[in-house]
Structure 1
Amino acid sequence: MSRALIIGSSGGIGKALKEELESTGCDVVGLSRTENGLDIADETSIISVTTGLKGTFDTILVATGSLSPRDQGPEKTYKVLDAETAALQFAVNSIGPMVILKHTAHLLPRDSKAVFAVLSARVGSIGDNHLGGWYSYRASKAALNQFIRTASIELARTHKRSICVALHPGTVATEFTRNYTTHTSVSSSVSSKNLLNVIDGLTPRETGQFLDWAGNPIPW
């Protein structure tokens, strides 16, 4: 990929993606709350930060997300579900990435491979949910997956070689997961290489899919 836009470029995975792409000679533009004041849950902020972007991007990758807003931790039972906290999860994890697509789709090339990818999570799989818990995070990622599946159909009408996918990065050792990792994790650097390898190998046949870090389909 010759030019990429990374949303969430100051986070653990986003920063690693930006650095890995830059090491290959890719022209990378990074946007984040820390660096540019981008609030993924505020459409006005998204418009303000993205309006000045010029040219086209072969890849737009949204690497934002919220696992535990307000430091309350993922819900283990519906008895502690808080409506406002759940709504915030959806604003950040589901709606935000789609608003990014709304305001950046015109930056994707129409006559060549164009990738719009978001970081989802395996726990957003309905078919693979055997443990329960984590209500808001699971549901917000499941909603994101449906958004991406639906958007892939519409985007293909105007961008014939487009690829719109949800990607599970695996369990990555970042501040994001520090308090919730219960099994083997990989570094942000390793995760970014895995994700970029998957993206490099994608074709329009894979648009609308939910894939893991190795490129394997995950049940919806």
Structure 2
Amino acid sequence: MLRAIRFASIILVVLLGGVWATAWFARTPDESVADAFMRQLARLTGAEMPAAGGVQIAQGVSLGGPFTLVDQTGKTVTERDFAGRPLLIYFGFTYCPDVCPTELGTIAAALDTMGPAGEQVTPIFITIDPERDTPEAMADYVSRFHSRLVGLTGTPEQVAQAARAYRVYYAKVQPRDSTAYLMDHSSFIYFVGSDGRVRNLFRPDTTPEAIAAAVRAQLRAH
């Protein structure tokens, strides 16, 4: 029995060593060996790849789903209009003074960092402030960040449905010293694979390089 356990252990070590060697030679220029190893291991086992560069999505947690919104040209769109296309999605609002422009700038920089591979990914900005963020306001706003950035708004009910699908928190906040309101909201960047499933969830202040590496790894794995 002990001899069999030792033999199985040796086989496992040899197998993992082979996967590590493959990861070393197959990794992309900006991908760490550890991330490449996990990608190769996921491909070998058929399991979900951990959310490299972002937040690990707990098993059984479902993010994303059907939505009906209006883009910056005034056209009604649904999730089916983006079927088969990898997406980077961020929820925010155009009056946001700090984190929203920072994160949208990060998305734009990540896509530029990816080079030609970045052209496969569609960046999307979904407002959580439809009262002020009309299609016209969204068109002006998204044009400041990236030429391919899609801005989506809609009725309060449509926006709430999309936010629930991605488990986005938001609430109106009225500062004491101002007549204008702000929006308190969660601030994650979602990478959605071409199959419509959320593959990565990036925290605020994740670097463009880390996002680019994780998204490139997902594109290669799927």
Alignment TM-score, normalising by the size of structure 2: 0.29
Q: Which has the higher strand share?
A: 2
Alignment TM-score, normalising by the size of structure 1: 0.29
Looking at both structures, which has the greater relative contact order when contacts are Cα pairs under 8 Å and sequence separation is at least 6? 2
